[in-house]
């Protein structure tokens, strides 16, 4: 299965494109916070579960051209041998905890072989993957702040001392460097402990033992990804951003319903987003949760549309009609505002003034995908209305949906290619086909499947860069009866990450391009990212790979 990369790779291209995309994000003043919704969210604050884990070994990173991330880890000492080891100024080591977690690190630092006649200065680097601790973090070339990089430098004045790193990190590996200490003594690290945190309070049932081994492994990694992103809200990534993003929330919620069932956290997130709207009422793309929930001025049209979808799926999964009715005015306001972006020709109008994410494929023309997002959202809003008994509020949108579907079929479909095109240059992309299929625009499943297959195979078609868009391609395939091909894509993409050594699934994965980063530096990439957790949903909700596919 060939998925050719289309995104720019030079740091200059990435920085310029990122700046242009940032400039398109509409940054309007915050609206008046909804005190009731924020109080509801605060009352739903989950209690984090803590589990303590010891290291399994000391390792060293060895260059390996056959490893996807260019390094493999070799065990150099057991955990017991490590506790007996003494370290002096200029020495370093790497601890391996054997799997990914989100949380804190603690250890007891002791002086040996002499009096502790000076402080000890340490640098700790927290790694989700081997390259984090094998390749220096600096010089850093990313477009986001270097403050996100997972390293800590601090001084311990008095030994012995129990040290607990106050900042939460996402990690499997910890590289420890003894930067400075008196030559009169060495140090030992005893009782090194990872304090893993999650709001998940139950363990999902494993898949049937007869399931294919690759599929069980992908499911385990998906569950671990969701677990480590499930904190006081559904975070997008516990390493960087560490906040509630609406696009990620929908995918996390779907995986959650078939695994941890932390449904009150989904409800909390819906209230947080509803409680901090833009001045015109549009739901924000994300929320800053700490030190208190606040508006983040990062509105994205496709994410705002996904709010209604997420609310509808929450009501369906939980039967919580009361929450649905309380948030129904928010959903109504979203479609009112979103429909203002539809022109007299019943097509989405991309004025260039508002940011639509869709995926981190930087050259992507997004207008056809947005047409699909809007139709998809309108359909789901009507479904939500029927669940809540509010059909009369939105009955007039049924005709609008039909007009938008007809306009897409007449003006966006290229009969000769069997695909939907986007923009003045008639760009071809996987994103356009996926969202057209999900919105029900193709006249039948045959046309839908043809469009998706063409998008995947034609070299000029813009391919995805992230698991976010790959999810929607797989969801579109499942929608139009392409279960075998959907399973093959999960095996190729998420299975490829598993084969590359992932403990949790990544923010960005482009097969054959291990140094790919839409943010300009792989060290700023998140290697546990919420939008990549949905294979578990496909397996558990649809039986993908578990029925006739075994």
| pLDDT for 299 | 85
Q: Specify burial of residue 51 (Cβ count, 10 A radius: 0-12, 13-18, 19+).
A: exposed
Q: Specify burial of residue 168 (Cβ count, 10 A radius: 0-12, 13-18, 19+).
A: middle
Q: Residue 430: which of 63, 4, 18 has the closest Cα?
A: 4
Contact 4, 459 (CB under 8 A): yes
DSSP string, 110-175: EEESS---S-EEEEEEEESSHHHHHS---S---SS-GGGSSEEEEEE-SSSEEEE--S-EEEEEEE
| pLDDT for 385 | 98
Q: What percent of the chain has pLDDT over 90?
A: 88
| pLDDT for 486 | 98
Q: Residue 461: which of 469, 453, 472 has the closest Cα?
A: 453
pLDDT, tens digit (0-9, with 9 covering 90-100), for 286-321: 999 999 999 988 889 999 999 999 999 999 999 999
3-state secondary structure 234-247: ECCCCCCCCCEEHH
pTM of the model: 0.95
- On the question of pLDDT at 14 being above 80, the answer is no
* Burial 134-166, CB ≥16 within 10 A → b, else e: beebeeebbbeeeebbbbbeeebeebeeebebe
Distance CA(369)–CA(373), nearest Å, equals: 6
Q: Residue 489: which of 414, 428, 434, 422 has the closest Cα?
A: 434
Average pLDDT for 339-352: 92
Distance CA(447)–CA(441), nearest Å, equals: 10
Third-level CATH fold of 54-198: Jelly Rolls (2.60.120)
pLDDT, tens digit (0-9, with 9 covering 90-100), for 78-94: 999 999 999 999 999 99
pLDDT, tens digit (0-9, with 9 covering 90-100), for 529-547: 999 999 999 999 999 998 7
As given in the structure block, the two tokens for residue 445 are: 């499943």
Enumerate helices (H) and strands (E) in the chain, giving the number of each.
17, 14
pLDDT tier for residue 18 given thresholds of 50, 70 and 90? low
Place of tokens 């997008």: 236
pLDDT tier for residue 518 given thresholds of 50, 70 and 90? confident
Contact 417, 428 (CB under 8 A): yes
As given in the structure block, the two tokens for residue 142 are: 């990313």
Identify whether 536 is preceded by a cis peptide bond (ω within 30 of 0): no
- Overall CATH class of domain 11-48+200-542: mainly alpha
Contact 459, 524 (CB under 8 A): no
- On the question of pLDDT at 5 being above 60, the answer is no
pLDDT, tens digit (0-9, with 9 covering 90-100), for 161-193: 999 999 999 999 999 999 999 999 999 999 999
Q: What percent of the chain has pLDDT over 70?
A: 94
Place of tokens 């363990």: 203
Beta partners for 108? Answer: 162, 190
| pLDDT for 24 | 62
3-state secondary structure 162-205: EEECCCCEEEEEEEEEEEECCCCCEEEEEEEEEEEEECCCCCCC
Q: Residue 398: which of 417, 412, 385 has the closest Cα?
A: 385
The domain ranges of the chain are 11-48+200-542, 54-198
């Amino acid at each position: 299965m060939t998925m050719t990369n289309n995104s720019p790779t030079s740091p200059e291209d990435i920085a310029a494109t990122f700046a242009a995309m940032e400039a398109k994000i509409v940054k309007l003043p915050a609206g008046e916070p909804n005190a009731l919704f924020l109080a509801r969210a605060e009352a739903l604050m989950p209690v984090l579960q803590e589990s303590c884990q010891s290291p399994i070994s000391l390792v060293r990173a060895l260059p390996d051209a056959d490893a996807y991330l260019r390094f493999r880890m070799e065990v150099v000492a057991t955990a017991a041998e490590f506790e007996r080891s003494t370290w002096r100024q200029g020495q370093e080591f790497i601890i391996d905890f054997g799997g990914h977690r989100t949380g804190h690190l603690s250890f007891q630092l002791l002086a040996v072989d002499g009096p502790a006649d000076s402080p000890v200065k340490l640098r700790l680097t927290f790694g989700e993957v081997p390259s984090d601790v094998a390749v220096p973090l600096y010089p850093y070339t990313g477009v986001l702040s270097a403050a996100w990089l997972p390293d800590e430098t601090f001084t311990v004045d008095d030994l012995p001392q129990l040290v607990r790193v106050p900042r939460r990190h996402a990690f499997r590996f910890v590289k420890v460097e003894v930067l400075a200490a008196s030559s009169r003594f060495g140090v030992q690290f005893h009782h090194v402990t990872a304090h893993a945190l999650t709001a998940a309070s139950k363990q999902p049932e494993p898949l049937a033992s007869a399931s294919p081994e690759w599929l069980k492994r992908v499911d385990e990694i998906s569950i671990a990804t969701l677990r480590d992103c499930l904190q006081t809200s559904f975070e997008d990534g516990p390493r960087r951003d560490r906040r509630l993003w609406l696009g990620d929330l929908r995918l996390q919620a779907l995986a959650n319903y078939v695994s941890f069932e932390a449904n009150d956290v989904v409800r909390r997130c819906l209230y947080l987003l509803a409680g901090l709207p833009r001045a015109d009422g549009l739901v924000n793309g994300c929320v800053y949760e700490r030190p208190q929930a606040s508006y983040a001025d990062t509105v994205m049209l496709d994410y705002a549309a996904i709010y209604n979808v997420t609310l509808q799926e929450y009501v369906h999964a939980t039967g919580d009609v009361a929450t649905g009715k309380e948030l129904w005015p928010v959903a109504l306001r979203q479609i009112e505002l979103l429909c203002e972006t539809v022109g007299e020709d019943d097509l989405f109008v991309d004025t260039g003034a508002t940011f639509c994410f869709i995926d981190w494929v930087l050259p992507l023309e997004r207008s056809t995908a947005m047409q699909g997002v809007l139709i998809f959202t309108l359909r789901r809003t009507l479904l939500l209305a029927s669940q809540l008994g509010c059909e009369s509020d939105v009955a007039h949108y049924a005709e609008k949906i039909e007009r938008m579907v007809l306009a897409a079929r007449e003006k966006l479909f290229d009969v000769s290619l069997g695909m939907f095109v986007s923009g003045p240059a008639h760009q071809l992309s996987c994103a356009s086909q996926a969202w057209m299929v999900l919105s029900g625009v193709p006249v039948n499943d045959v046309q839908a499947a043809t469009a998706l297959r063409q998008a995947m195979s034609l070299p000029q078609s813009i391919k995805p860069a992230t698991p976010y868009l790959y999810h929607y391609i797989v969801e579109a395939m499942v929608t139009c009866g392409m279960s075998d091909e959907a399973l093959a894509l999960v095996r190729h993409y998420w299975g490829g990450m598993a084969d590359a050594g992932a403990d949790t699934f990544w923010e960005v994965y482009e097969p054959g391009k291990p140094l790919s980063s839409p943010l300009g530096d792989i060290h700023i990439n998140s290697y546990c990212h919420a939008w990549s957790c949905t294979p578990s949903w496909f397996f558990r909700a649809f039986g993908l790979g578990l029925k006739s596919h075994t």
